[in-house]
Amino acid sequence: MADAILNPGDAIDEAAYGPRKRGAGRWVVLAILTLLLLLVLFPFFLALSNSIKSTVDYAANGPLSLPTSVDFTALKKFWDVADFGRKLLNSAIISLVVAVFGVLISLLNAYAIGIGKVRGSRVILVVLLIGIMVPQESIVYPLYYMAKATGLYDTQLSVIIIFAVLQSAFGTYLLSSVLGSFPKEIIEAAEMDGANRWQILWQVVVPVLRPSLMVVGTFFFIWTWNEFLIPLVMLVSNNNQTVSVAMGLTRGQNMSDPTLQAAASLLGMAPTLIFFLIFQRTLTRGVVVGAVK
């Protein structure tokens, strides 16, 4: 507290502070954080190193040693046993279609709320958000029953419809706030030019909004990819299941071979890890909205 009397702007103080601040302390902090980081990443390392290990190597050296040679037997075996290529395709199709239709519904809703400023906008947004925050357990049985009644049970279409609607509730919330601050003059100018509402949406609003639409679509894709309960209930046959569901069901299967289990987890994590590396900046921006699901 004695330092408080020093003049903050004084260059001499800066010089006096410099070396003290840049002491050994910074390396200690860096070392502690790095240790924590390695701890967090250690499971990923284990999955990788053991999935490319031969069973003989594992039996001799255990899970902690590096593989003596790269062996794809376990990865290939799990890929074949789980029909993993099919699971990847299912997840990709479902997530992509949900992203497209989810964004489309969000866009239409947000156009009415953000630009049209229809009466009751606030109530609509609150209802949408609460509807989405409640546990999926509270809608899953009626949805399951409805799907059976309409013949949509065990079809990817059932999951696509459900998630396009659920995700669009979030998208509406996000895009409405973006569109709420859309410059009115641009809309008015387009109206003067004789454009109707439908044309204004597609020719004026969408081009400006494109980056936000891409961000929202990216969220929808990864959120849908990771969904578990509803796909688990809806998609019973092996051919329709997603990566997330297939992973959830591996526990019940006989997986006495440890390298096979490591391979399973690696394959289950790999697509989202790759997706994350590509879209890291986008995905870390959406964390708060994503977490209320």
Partner 1 sequence: MATPSGASTEDKRSYYLYLIPGAIGFIAIVLLPQIANFALSFTAWKGVGTPRFVGLQNYEKLLTDGQFWGSMSHTLLFVISMTIIPVVLGLVLAALLFDYIRDEFGETVSSLFRAAFYLPQILPITAAGVLWGWIFNPVGVVNIILRAPGLDGLAQNWLGDATYALPAVSLVIVWIQVGYCLVVFMAGLSRIDPALYEAAELDGAGWWQRLVTITIPLLAPEIFVVVLTTLIAALKVFAPIFVLTAGGPDNATLVPSYLTYYHFFTTQRVGYAASIAVVQTILTIGLAVIFLRFQSSQAGKE
Binding positions for partner 1, 179-218, rule CB under 8 A: 191-192, 194-199, 201
Stretch that binds partner 1, among 67-75, 81-89, 206-214, 220-228 (CB under 8 A): 220-228
- Of the two residues 239 and 253, which places its CB atom closer to partner 1 in the complex? 253
Task: Provide the 10 A C-beta neighbour count for residue 250.
Answer: 17
Is residue 137 within the footprint of partner 1 (CB under 8 A)? yes
| Closer of 212 and 233 to partner 1 (Cβ) | 233
Number of H helices, E strands in the chain: 15, 0
Q: Least Å distance between CB 261 and partner 1? A: 4
Report whether 214 contacts 66 (CB < 8 A).
no
- Residue 292: helix, strand or coil by DSSP? coil
**In whole angstroms, how close is the CB of 65 to partner 1 at the nearest point?**
11
Residues 146-185 interacting with partner 1 (rule: CB under 8 A): 146, 161-162, 164-166, 168-169, 172
Between CA 292 and CA 130 the distance in angstroms is 10
Where in 243-272 is the site for partner 1 (CB under 8 A)? 243-245, 247-248, 250-251, 258, 261-262, 264-265, 268-269, 272
Q: Is 185 left (phi over 0), alpha (psi -120 to 50) or beta?
A: alpha
Position 24 contacts partner 1 (CB under 8 A): no
Closest separation between CB of residue 28 and partner 1, Å? 11
Residue 162: CB minimum distance to partner 1, A? 6
Residue 277 CB, nearest approach to partner 1 (Å)? 9
Question: How far is 91 from 26, CA to CA, in rounded Å?
Answer: 44
End-to-end CA distance of the chain: 47
22 makes contact with partner 1 (CB under 8 A): yes
Work out the angle at residue 33's Cα, subtended by the Cα atoms of residues 27 and 38, and round it to the nearest 5 degrees: 120
Tell me if residue 187 falls in helix, strand or coil: helix
For the segment 67-96, give every residue that binds partner 1 (CB under 8 A): none
Question: What is the Cα–Cα distance from 275 to 265, expressed in whole angstroms?
Answer: 16
Long-range contacts from 120-124, C-beta under 8 angstroms, 24+ separation: 121/176, 124/172
Q: How far is the CB of 33 from partner 1 (least distance, A)?
A: 6
Give the number of residues in contact with partner 1, rule: CB under 8 A.
105
Please identify, using beta-carbon distances, which residue of 2 and 70 lies nearer to partner 1: 2
